[in-house]
Amino acid sequence: MNKTIYQFHKKVMATPMNWVEYNEYRDWELPYDGYNTKEGYLVEYLDGSKPNHPDHKGRIVWLPKEEFDAGYTAITDGNNKVPPSRIEDLLSKLEYKFARVDGTTVTACWSFLPNGFSVGYGESACVDAANYDQELGEKYALERCNRNLLGVHPDLVPIVEHAIHITRVDFTVIEGMRSIERQQKLVRSGASSTMNSRHLTGHAVDLAAWVDGRIDWSWPLYYQIADAMKCAAKKLNTPIEWGGDWKQFKDGPHFQLPWVSYPIETIRECG
């Protein structure tokens, strides 16, 4: 008999709530044997299961704290951001390579997963060649390289992580979260057409094909990366939009969580 060991993976959303509170929340009469203030969680399944409460999109249940803590690990904090501990865990597994770009003051840094896949790229440069300092250059390049994954939406990070394992074309994350200043610069230079970019909120990443130790912008490679990203997104039940599918301003390296599924309130400027 073939006995394989399996592990259960299911994404849920949970709110601390004791047994009495949960029964009140459901508008249920408290069962006699459950008349206590046992700690636990209101757990909402994010797997598309049939809802059983008008305020929740997925089915909700109550789980005692011990059972919940033993089975689930937080992948976001209460504000829906990837918690620093998870980023630290990811970063602690990475290995780095540095190189000075020939004839320039640019230092490049690449980060790799233990299986050799490249997941990040960052550059630093100093204005005057006379001031080139290898150690400092490497330090700044590494910071930029790691920053590419920081601030990226928690639903997007696992898609990238999974896609890296199934893609036929190796790729690297060249940009994730972007500052308003940088977006303004990109719009001015014509590299971006909008101040409404999903990069500003961490809902987008740019991926670059990685072939023979360098970034390759050949368009056919991006179809293959897009295949891997779409396949990973499907597996994780998260919708994804590829910039290469856009009718205008096709953007091969760009992947984002769609506005329809991930809306955010527009920040209105005053004055």
Residue nearest to Zn ion (CB): 254
Query: Residue 35 Cβ, how far from Zn ion at the closest point, in Å?
Result: 55
Q: How far is the CB of 97 from Zn ion (least distance, A)?
A: 24
Of the pair 18, 230, the CB lying nearest Zn ion is at 230
| Residue 89, Cβ density class (10 Å: 0-12 exposed, 13-18 middle, ≥19 buried) | exposed
Q: Of 144, 153, 203, 254, which one interacts with Zn ion (CB under 5 A)?
A: 254
**Which CB sits closer to Zn ion, 24 or 245?**
245
Angle at the Cα of 14 (from 51 to 201), degrees rounded to 5? Answer: 95
Q: In sequence order, what are the residues at sequence separation of 6 or more whose Cβ sits closer than 8 angstroms to the Cβ of residue 143?
A: 122
Identify which range of 47-55, 140-148, 221-229, 246-254 contacts Zn ion by CB under 5 A: 246-254
Q: Does residue 241 belong to the site contacting Zn ion (CB under 5 A)?
A: no
* Candidate ranges 20-28, 85-93, 154-162, 250-258; the one touching Zn ion (CB under 5 A): 250-258
Cα dist from 51 to 22, 45, 48, whole Å: 16, 9, 8
Shorter beta-carbon distance to Zn ion: residue 40 or 176: 176
Nearer to Zn ion, 145 or 199 (CB): 199
> CB neighbours of 130 closer than 8 A, spacing ≥ 6?
none
Q: How far is the CB of 92 from Zn ion (least distance, A)?
A: 27
Among 119, 206, 208, 210, binds Zn ion (CB under 5 A): 206
- The angle formed by the CA atoms of residues 186, 110 and 214, to the nearest 5 degrees, is 80
Comparing CB distances to Zn ion, the nearer of 45 and 254 is 254
Residue 169 tokens, joined: 């074309």
Instruction: Report which secondary-structure segment, H or E, holds 70.
Output: helix 65-71
Q: Which residues contact 154 (CB under 8 A, 6 or more apart)?
A: 75, 76, 80, 81, 82
- Tell me whether residue 107 or residue 192 sits nearer to Zn ion (CB atom): 192
Q: Does the protein bind Zn ion through residue 170 (CB under 5 A)?
A: no
44: contact with Zn ion by CB under 5 A: no
Residues that bind Zn ion in the complex, under the rule CB under 5 A:
206, 254
